[in-house]
């Protein structure tokens, strides 16, 4: 099954980012394909490489970058990013800023679109 992910919450302030990541890992282990991960609303903060979590804490930003390095499309809504002062200079590696129309394309191509966050 091809799955698209929509993440609408930022890291560390809600469970959504962790839940989305864990869902992706479990789905991939079961043989499902992750079409793309689309960060929207406060979810774009997951792609901002401007924080340094403590060494004993999970690094959510690095998790997303590593997932991108493994071939999963990590996409960031340009309008939501601009509203939060996120640009290419502070974007995590392996992520791409794109338009909201890309989310529609993901929903069309994927068998399921799973949303995390409010």
State the catalytic residues: 77
CA–CA separation, 58 and 88 (whole Å): 23
Q: φ and ψ at 71, to 5 degrees? A: 105, 0
Are 21 and 46 contacting, i.e. CB atoms less than 8 angstroms apart? no
Are 77 and 117 contacting, i.e. CB atoms less than 8 angstroms apart? no
Q: Which H or E element spans position 27?
A: helix 16-29
Which residue(s) pair with 4 in the sheet?
Answer: 36, 113
């Amino acid at each position: 099954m091809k799955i698209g992910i929509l993440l609408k919450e930022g890291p560390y302030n809600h469970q959504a980012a962790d839940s989305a990541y864990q869902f992706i890992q479990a789905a991939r282990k079961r043989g499902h394909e992750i079409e793309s991960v689309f960060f929207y609303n406060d979810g774009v903060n997951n792609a901002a490489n401007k924080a340094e979590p403590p060494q004993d804490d999970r690094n959510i930003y690095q998790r997303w970058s590593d997932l991108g390095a493994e071939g999963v499309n990590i996409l960031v809504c340009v309008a939501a990013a601009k509203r939060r002062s996120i640009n290419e200079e502070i974007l995590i590696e392996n992520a791409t800023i794109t338009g909201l129309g890309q989310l529609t394309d993901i929903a069309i191509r994927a068998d399921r679109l799973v949303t995390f966050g409010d």
